[in-house]
């Protein structure tokens, strides 16, 4: 599986798209919709996919609406911060190529959150100007782009260019920040001992930063000011994909023995230095994004972060 994005392939055609439906399944299979052309052939490019899974095509439904104006498919608006950055926005590269087309969205909830609107404004579009698919709709002229970012696979140069909307400034000499998770609820994953680590870093002159307490632009400004950005593996570090010319070094405490590949994909797309470790840590409950881990060797962890 590869990630490809080619502007010369952005050609509109007649495509019928159904609303997003929730199923009883887990993972990507919990959501379904159908996208098919005039011949009944599935338009696979519109389905969400990852290195390890892909959405299933839903059943056909009677057409209840016709849209004749030129449009382009954007994706599925999800409420999870990391997946929003990597997957909801994974066709921004194509939206930039087709500014005169209205963007078509599927939605998983009734509202678009303020932080989602802030990111959209940074990237130069407005969700409210788009078309939300709430019933089976026959689009007469719909572009169905390939995603520019596929989780676990890669990020196309075109997508990286489109997302890099926040120009980084020269880092402040000596500025180092710890991107904290200590105020997040336990179900989002906990590092036992993070408070002690934060106190030790503050004694060494580090800034402890809680990104969820600030707007997107403040988050980006704060991280771009730093020479070193460190934190536990988590979605807040995906914000770096929105920067351009980042001069910081990034250090990550892993949630398991293998770092989620998306962090390396983002580092390559943005060209910054990055290192990670699981040394000195031990998982004590859960897995993946909800894992609870503890600091077993405090000195080893502090040495990695603050060296």
The CATH class given to the 166-306 domain equals alpha beta
Q: What is the pLDDT of residue 306?
A: 97
Q: What is the pLDDT of residue 6?
A: 63
Percent of the chain with pLDDT over 70: 98
Q: What is the pLDDT of residue 61?
A: 96
Q: What is the CA radius of gyration of the chain?
A: 21
Q: What is the pLDDT of residue 285?
A: 87
Which burial class, exposed, middle or buried, applies to 67 when counting CB atoms under 10 A from its CB (0-12, 13-18, 19+)? middle
Nearest 10 degrees: Cα torsion 145, 148, 150, 155: 160
Residue 245 tokens read as 């010319």
Contacts 24+ apart (CB under 8 A), 261-265: 261/51, 261/152, 262/82, 262/86, 262/151, 262/152, 262/238, 263/233, 263/237, 265/149, 265/153, 265/154, 265/155
The model's pLDDT over 37-53, given as tens digits with 9 standing for 90+, comes to 999 999 999 999 999 99
Q: What is the pLDDT of residue 220?
A: 98
Q: What is the pLDDT of residue 181?
A: 94
Identify which of 263, 262, 289 has the alpha carbon closest to the alpha carbon of residue 274: 263
Residue 42 tokens read as 């599935």
Give the global pTM. 0.94
Q: Where are the domains positioned within the chain?
A: 7-155, 166-306
Q: What is the pLDDT of residue 207?
A: 98
- Average pLDDT on 265-284 reads 96
Q: Kind of pairing, strands 228-232 and 243-244?
A: unpaired
The model's pLDDT over 285-301, given as tens digits with 9 standing for 90+, comes to 888 778 889 999 999 99
Give me the chain's average pLDDT, please.
94
Q: What is the pLDDT of residue 274?
A: 98
Helix (H, G, I), strand (E, B) or coil at 43: coil
The model's pLDDT over 132-154, given as tens digits with 9 standing for 90+, comes to 999 999 999 999 999 999 999 99
Q: Is the pLDDT of residue 5 over 70?
A: no
Q: What is the pLDDT of residue 4?
A: 61
Which pLDDT band holds residue 2 (cuts at 50, 70, 90)? low
The model's pLDDT over 182-237, given as tens digits with 9 standing for 90+, comes to 998 877 888 999 999 999 999 999 999 999 999 999 999 999 999 999 999 999 99
CB 99 within 8 A of CB 126: no
Q: At what angle do helices 216-224 and 114-123 cross, to 10 degrees?
A: 60
Q: Is the pLDDT of residue 130 over 60?
A: yes
- Residue 40 makes CB contacts below 8 A (sequence gap 6+) with none
Q: Is the pLDDT of residue 1 over 70?
A: no
Identify which of 147, 140, 132 has the alpha carbon closest to the alpha carbon of residue 15: 140
The model's pLDDT over 106-118, given as tens digits with 9 standing for 90+, comes to 999 889 999 999 9
Provide φ and ψ at 257, rounded to 5°.
Answer: -70, -15
């Amino acid at each position: 599986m590869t990630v490809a994005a080619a502007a010369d392939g952005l050609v509109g055609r007649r495509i019928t798209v159904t609303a997003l439906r929730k199923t009883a399944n887990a993972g990507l299979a919990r959501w379904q919709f159908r996208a098919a052309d005039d011949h009944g052939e599935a338009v696979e490019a519109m389905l969400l996919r990852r290195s390890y899974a892909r959405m299933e095509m839903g059943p056909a439904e009677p057409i209840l609406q016709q849209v004749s104006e030129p449009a382009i498919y954007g994706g599925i608006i999800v409420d999870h911060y990391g997946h929003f950055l990597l997957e909801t926005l994974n066709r921004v590269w194509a939206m930039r190529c087709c500014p005169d087309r209205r963007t078509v969205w599927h939605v998983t909830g009734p509202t678009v959150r303020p932080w989602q609107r802030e990111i959209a404004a940074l990237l130069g579009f407005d969700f409210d100007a788009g078309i939300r698919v709430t019933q089976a709709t026959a689009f007469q002229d719909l572009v169905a782009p390939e995603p520019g970012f596929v989780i676990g696979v890669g990020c196309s140069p075109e997508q990286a260019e489109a997302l890099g909307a926040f120009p980084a400034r020269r880092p402040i000499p000596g500025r180092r920040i710890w991107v904290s998770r200590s105020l997040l609820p336990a179900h989002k994953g906990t590092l036992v001992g993070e408070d002690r680590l934060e106190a030790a870093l503050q004694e060494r002159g580090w800034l402890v930063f809680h990104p969820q307490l600030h707007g997107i632009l403040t988050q980006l400004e704060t991280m771009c000011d730093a020479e070193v950005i460190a934190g536990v593996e988590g979605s807040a570090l995906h914000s770096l994909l929105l920067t351009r010319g980042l001069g910081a070094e990034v250090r990550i405490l892993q949630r398991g023995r293998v770092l989620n590949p998306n962090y390396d994909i983002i580092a390559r797309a943005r060209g910054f230095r990055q290192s990670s470790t699981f040394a000195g840590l031990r998982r004590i409950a859960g897995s993946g994004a909800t894992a609870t881990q503890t600091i077993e060797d405090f000195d080893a962890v502090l040495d990695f972060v603050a060296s």
